[in-house]
Amino acid sequence: MRTSTPENENQKTNEGLTRRRFLETTVGTTVASAMAGSLLPHTDANAHTHPPAAAADARNRIPYRTLGNTGEKVSCVGLGGYHLARQSDVQESVRIIRTGLDEGINFLDNCWDYNGGESEIRMGKALQDGYRQKAFLMTKIDSRTKQGAAKQIDESLRRLQTDHVDLLQFHEVIRDTDPDAIFAVNGGMEAALAAKQQGKLRYIGFTGHKSPEIHLKMLDTAFAHKFTLNSVQMPLNVMDAHYDSFEKLVLPVLLAHNIGVLGMKPMGDGLILQTKTVEAVDCLRYALNLPTSVVITGCDSLPILQQALQTARTFRPLSQEQVAALLAKTEKVAQNGEHELYKTAHNFDGTYQNPQWLD
């Protein structure tokens, strides 16, 4: 079987797109950032809101949005995989996942390394009995090498008890060296593309929480290889807007190239709530008000899941005044990133603590 490469994958959709053209329409560097100021709209939450979903764009009153260039319809909120192995009873994890799917959520997040694989194992149990057909299933891998990535993909599929995932993402693109490593000869992208040819996955993206500049480098590197990513996952919340902001620097690039926007850490894994400046529902509403395809939120209990469902069902675009009020509440405490430790420390960097996962 012919090995697929970034150069021939997505060739038609990227015909004529060069590194220079990409830089001319994004904020990948300081120079490009200045250029982009005149080419892209300023990221203003009020300017990019989604109207309330029509009946055709909702399931069980959960609004659905389009996942960028894939054309797939996904629930505006998604279940975060990390929190789905915190329950002492496996069946409680299964209940949370199945209740989410029954109630209208279809987007499921997971990762090869979450809780030593237990998050995928529990999700795999939940996806039996016909539930796999209800889900848009995403997982992530860590390896930057072709051999390691192929192994992690197969391990994830076995744990999830499925023959394919809908979306595979490279996890924790948090080092300046990660983009080149993933796209190198015998790098992880070769394994992902081979797995796509084999029907083991449908779409490819990446995640990261450290630096908008590294996200931009990953996008730049992908375009340099004539490859369009299908999704990008990043922190989008009421504090990110004030400090080293993914919303301000990366979001306009994704919109310009119709790449699916996966918002994560709407509450900063609880760090934002600890400041007592905003409530959980406000955090979800702020993230939903951005042009996200999905806002991934951790739901470690049925009451927390119901809170997310209710927020999604009752969501209406925020006014400019409402957005400004939320940002004003968090502005002072967000200035130095101390409540966004995923950006400023290694607390959330699994691959920093376990570098062998990258092999």
Per-residue pLDDT of the chain (359 residues; tens, 9 = 90+): 444 444 444 444 443 333 434 444 444 333 233 223 322 333 343 444 444 434 458 999 999 999 999 999 999 999 999 999 999 999 999 999 999 999 999 999 999 999 999 999 999 999 999 999 999 999 999 999 999 999 999 999 999 999 999 999 999 999 999 999 999 999 999 999 999 999 999 999 999 999 999 999 999 999 999 999 999 999 999 999 999 999 999 999 999 999 999 999 999 989 999 999 999 999 999 999 999 999 999 999 999 999 999 999 999 999 999 999 999 999 999 999 999 999 999 989 999 999 999 99
Phi, psi of 91 (to 5 degrees): -65, -25
The answer to whether the CB of 80 falls within 8 A of the CB of 53 is no
> CA angle, 293 as apex, 289 and 296 as ends, to 5°?
85
Domain 19-40+48-331 falls under CATH 3.20.20.140: no
201-207 vs 165-170, strand pairing mode: parallel
* Lookup: tokens for 55: 């009946």
Q: Which residues of 247-280 are buried (b: 16+ CB within 10 A; e: fewer)?
A: bbbbbbbbbbbebbbbbbbbbbbebbbebebbeb
Classify 141 as helix, strand or coil. Answer: strand
- Candidates 121, 106, 95, 102; CA nearest to 303 is 95
Domain coordinates in residue numbering, the chain: 19-40+48-331
| pTM for the model | 0.87
